Structure 1
Amino acid sequence: MYIEQGYKGSLGIWKYWIIPLGFLGLMVFNYISTLMTPVPVEDVMQGLIEQFGSNKVTIILLAPLAIGLFVVLGWTKLVHEQSITSLTTSRPKIDWGRVLFSFVLWGSITAAMTMTWVFLSPENYIFNFQLKPFLILAAITIILIPLQSSFEEYLFRGHMMQGLGIMAKNRWIPLVLTSVLFGLLHLGNPEVGKLGYGIMIFYIGTGFFLGIMTLMDEGLELALGFHAANNLITALLVTADWTAFQTNSVYRDISEPTLSWDAFLPVFVIFPIILFIMSKKYNWTNWKERLTGKVLTKEEFFAKDVNGQ
């Protein structure tokens, strides 16, 4: 009963609108700005990197989102008067073992896939490793990326999922809306400009994957681990001149960007396999009810909670 955890606080539907609308407004402004500017996004990024260096630009990009995490958590604690635990999970306490399992699983898969592409197409990659810049990058990303990725999870799969579920009184509406909005959040990324809108299948598909994971497991822990691993391993292992993260990574992709089958492999093959693995490990059952069923009323939820059901 993860969505119903939103009842554990000073409930006011208006409280769920302020932060999402403000953040989405900023994203819309950012996207319109990229459309209006005559300079391609990747050229703007390259100019910033030449002026400040890639590590400083990485901080500039990640710091506002890292701060956003504390805004969401502070809003939950001070305005909703809801505990961070109940925003995170339906369990009595946050299961850090789940976070670690998901992080290691997806981090290992991401690293293995990256090294496979490097091995199969060595002409597309340059070995970019320089010890000092890499160690600085590692320190920056290890601190900031978990905060940045957690902000997105707490905002979309936490704050918005619970708020929309309580308003809609079902689970499928928050699943669909948060997944689509999460995908659209990436419209301003340089990858969209280079690869076209087809790449949105990957972003929206990832949103659905994380939403399904959250609803089936009745908590954010697995999504938190996955998202942190995805962004961290990518930032450290491989970069390109046309991606959102342009870092002092181990490899640099110098191939001409094209949208091909490998962009959709995670959504249609790997993510379903991961969901299957997790369903076996955590004994997920009753998929239809957990993904599309009704959300209890406040009275029903607290009656069940009191009775320990």
Structure 2
Amino acid sequence: MKFIQQAYKGENEWWTYIVVLLLFLFGWQFIGVIPLIVTAILHSSDVAEFQNAAVDSFAKMGINSNLYLVLVIFTFFGGLVALFFGIIKIHKRSILTVLTSREKLDWNRIFFAFFVWASIGIIVIGVDYYLAPENFIWNFKLVPFTILCLISFLLLPIQTTMEEVLFRGYLMQGFGTWFKKGFIALIITSVIFGLLHGANPEVQKLGWISMVYYIGTGLLLGIFAIMDEGMELSLGFHAANNIIAAVLVTTNWTVFQTDALLIDTSEPSAGIEMFLPVLVLFPIVLYVFSKKYGWKNWEDKMFATIRKPIELNEDEFIA
């Protein structure tokens, strides 16, 4: 449980989490959203249009889709900066302690997880296209697509990193040290992660059954963090998931509407697409990672009691 125990390396009182979460919300929903609001106002013809657009994520209001994506990502950047600031100044911890229990971030793990899930995503989309090509429209436009790829690979990880740092790092460690059980922290953070996606257009279209996917994804990413003693695999997996979704396929009802290669025109339904990842693909990925990184003592890591380590010095702990 070294990863969750990282929370003990700084101030860990309950009030510090309240302060930092308020700071995070301020950075995400107030500071980070300013460029998006300003752009929306500049693109609106009157106050009524702006107010109506604000209810529906500004409906992009004729804003270039790549610009809109950058503006949305910036809101997450505001939240991430505020969260890091709180971790350093309020909790008096290094950012590394919320990312991993290792001495430094393992980029090989990040890239491996990215490669595995990106490969699976490409294969799944390819099979979908092969089986039902009539459901897709080829949408390749060189300049917009090139810009989209640059934004996706360079900036979209900001969004996924913010979510991972918040849920699989900060809150996982916080709940783990409060309730003394990593498994409880896993369940709580996964449910919150799923519910916070409730405002996504996908949920409005498919209904709350889509929580199976979102909460299931949260559980998978949380298991990665607990068993691997760090967030590296979660960071790579989440980045691959969103980048592939943004670059390869778009629809008119998902949260990211981009200049992707393909437009999916099929009617959305909570069918096999909803349950295949959770019941088939996620277990496969979990098995691959567990074998590659030699995960053992599953019961101890998932259900053991989390205790404050015996402090030797600033950087050394004994469980």
TM-score calculated relative to the size of structure 1: 0.89
CA contact (8 A) 1:169 1:297 kept: no
Larger relative contact order (Cα-Cα within 8 Å, sequence gap ≥ 6): 1
Q: Which residue of 2 aligns with 1:53?
A: 64
Q: CA deviation at 1:20?
A: 3.8
Is 1:255 aligned to residue 266 of structure 2?
Answer: yes
Q: Which residue of 1 aligns with 2:131?
A: 120
Going from structure 1 to structure 2, the CA distance change for 1:270 and 1:139 (only over 3 Å counts) comes to same
1:140 to 151, 155, 166: 151
CA separation in 2, counterparts of 1:260 and 1:111?
19
CA contact (8 A) 1:205 1:267 kept: yes
Q: Which residue of 1 aligns with 2:293?
A: 282
Going from structure 1 to structure 2, the CA distance change for 1:187 and 1:23 (only over 3 Å counts) comes to farther
Classify the secondary structure of the residue corresponding to 2:103: coil
Q: Which residue of 2 aligns with 1:109?
A: 120
Q: CA deviation at 1:284?
A: 0.4
CA separation in 2, counterparts of 1:115 and 1:263?
17
CA separation in 2, counterparts of 1:237 and 1:17?
39
Q: Which residue of 2 aligns with 1:18?
A: 19
CA separation in 1, counterparts of 2:211 and 2:20?
24
CA separation in 1, counterparts of 2:219 and 2:196?
14
Q: CA deviation at 1:189?
A: 0.3
Is 1:155 aligned to residue 166 of structure 2?
Answer: yes
CA contact (8 A) 1:161 1:174 kept: yes
- The CA deviation string for residues 216-247 of structure 1, in whole angstroms up to 9 with x for no partner, is 00100000000001001110000000000000
Indicate the larger mover: 261-270 or 219-228: 261-270
CA separation in 1, counterparts of 2:213 and 2:23?
25
Is 1:76 aligned to residue 87 of structure 2?
Answer: yes
Q: CA deviation at 1:262?
A: 2.1
Q: Which residue of 1 aligns with 2:213?
A: 202
Q: 2:17 corresponds to which letter in structure 1?
A: Y
Q: 1:143 corresponds to which letter in structure 2?
A: L
Indicate the larger mover: 205-214 or 71-80: 71-80
Going from structure 1 to structure 2, the CA distance change for 1:178 and 1:79 (only over 3 Å counts) comes to same
Q: Which residue of 2 aligns with 1:191?
A: 202
- The CA deviation string for residues 178-212 of structure 1, in whole angstroms up to 9 with x for no partner, is 00000111100000111111111000000000001
CA separation in 1, counterparts of 2:171 and 2:318?
26
1:167 to 156, 178, 185: 178
Is 1:267 aligned to residue 278 of structure 2?
Answer: yes
Classify the secondary structure of the residue corresponding to 1:252: strand
Q: Which residue of 2 aligns with 1:176?
A: 187
TM-score calculated relative to the size of structure 2: 0.86
CA contact (8 A) 1:48 1:57 kept: no
Q: 2:296 corresponds to which letter in structure 1?
A: T
Q: 1:64 corresponds to which letter in structure 2?
A: T
CA contact (8 A) 1:55 1:247 kept: yes
* Unaligned 5+ runs, structure 1: 28-38
Going from structure 1 to structure 2, the CA distance change for 1:104 and 1:4 (only over 3 Å counts) comes to same
CA separation in 1, counterparts of 2:101 and 2:108?
15
- Count of residues in correspondence between the two structures: 295
Q: Which residue of 1 aligns with 2:40?
A: none
CA contact (8 A) 1:66 1:144 kept: no
CA contact (8 A) 2:135 2:265 kept: yes
CA contact (8 A) 2:191 2:218 kept: yes
Going from structure 1 to structure 2, the CA distance change for 1:236 and 1:132 (only over 3 Å counts) comes to same
Classify the secondary structure of the residue corresponding to 1:259: coil
Indicate the larger mover: 12-21 or 253-262: 12-21
CA separation in 2, counterparts of 1:242 and 1:168?
39
